[in-house]
Homo-oligomer: A and B are copies of this chain.
Amino acid sequence: MHRTRIRVIEDALDANNTIARANREDFDQAAVKVVNLMSAPGAGKTTLLERALPDLGGVRAGVLEGDVQGSYDADRIVSLHVPVTQINTDPGFGGECHLDANMVRSAIPALPLQEIDLLLIENVGNLVCPAEFRVGEDARVMVSAITEGEDKPLKYPLMFRTCELVLVNKIDLLEHLDFDLDLFLHNLDAVHPGVPRLLVSARTGEGVQEWSRWLTRLVMPVEAPV
């Protein structure tokens, strides 16, 4: 029975990858770079977007918000005068705990791809399933808040292993926590050796300029300042 279940999952992931490639082609044709932003609930994805969006230089960005229900994050982003599209995984997609390629595909007709250079996809807050489903992104960025503890790379390795950048957020709280930053970075390197990481605080603004620059460079690798 377990083998059958795994087979079903593998078939679902194969189908997902086929649709993700179709998304990728649509994004490439429109010359839009795509970031899949992932984290546990409450790690600070939306606040880090709010921080970065006004600071992207000439890069025109759009946001695709993924939530089980509601549009609380999209309502925050829209006040920045950035085009925002909402996907709710409930009820149309059965209340799924992640975005998959088909959900993103269903949103493509609503995305202003001709008017943007960069699409930031904010995934559902979850450290497990979002990592399993490619959606056609160029890069995966994950946010790990130091309030979540040092053990998260070890307990959710796929998420930490399949991303191109780790934002270590809430770094302003370091002095108020029993959090061993060296141990966290050691665990991170054990799972994904040398993965680029930025120590940031969405609250104080520490490190957010580097985060904006990372996004800008993704779109304009040459023109951006070093």
Contact = CB atoms under 8 A, between A and B. Distances in A.
Closest 8 CB pairs of A and B: A42-B148, A97-B128, A147-B147, A40-B41, A9-B94, A176-B176, A42-B149, A41-B127
Contacts of A94: 2, 5-6, 8-9
Please classify how large the interface on chain A is, using the bins under 10, 10 to 19, 20 to 34, 35 or more.
35 or more
12 contacts: A2-B94, A40-B42, A41-B156, A42-B147, A68-B156, A70-B155, A72-B155, A96-B128, A97-B126, A124-B128, A125-B156, A178-B203
B127 A93 contact: no
A92 to B, nearest CB: 5
Consensus secondary structure, chain A interface: loop
A212 to B, nearest CB: 21
Nearest to A177: B173
Looking at A69, A155, A157, A178, the one whose CB has the most chain B CB atoms below 10 A away is A155
